[in-house]
Amino acid sequence: MMAYRVRIERDKCMGDAICTALCSNWYMDTDGKARFRQETISDSDYESNHEAEISCPAGIIEVRKA
Ligand code: SF4
């Protein structure tokens, strides 16, 4: 089983909530910027987090092998 780590450059978040629509690991915080729930994710959560990564228009989400 592979573990992955997610990252976000929050200061550059545009607040469009695209990631949150694609993956339940992401939510919009009260400051209008996205935040992840879990930093370390497993195989089963990789696909949806990767979708968020490649769909973020600001390119600020990273999903890498832990
Ligand atoms: S998709 Fe990217 S820019 Fe949009 S809310 Fe998520 S992290 Fe922010």
- pLDDT at residue number 48: 98
Nearest CA to ligand 1 atom 6: 19
- pLDDT at residue number 53: 98
Distance CA 48, CA 19 (A): 9
Query: DSSP secondary-structure letter at 25?
Result: T
Query: Pocket of ligand 1, candidates 7, 13, 24: which has the most ligand atoms within 8 Å of its Cβ, to mutate?
Result: 13
Q: Can you give the CATH number for the domain in which 53 is found?
A: 3.30.70.20
In this prediction, residue 64 has a pLDDT band, given cuts at 50, 70 and 90, of very high
Regarding the beta carbon of 17 and ligand 1, being less than 6 Å apart is answered yes
Regarding the beta carbon of 6 and ligand 1, being less than 6 Å apart is answered no
* Domains: count for the chain: 1
pLDDT tens digit sequence for 5-59: 999 999 999 999 999 999 999 999 999 999 999 999 999 999 999 999 999 999 9
In this prediction, residue 1 has a pLDDT band, given cuts at 50, 70 and 90, of confident
Which domain range does residue 25 map to? Answer: 3-65
| pTM of the complete model | 0.96
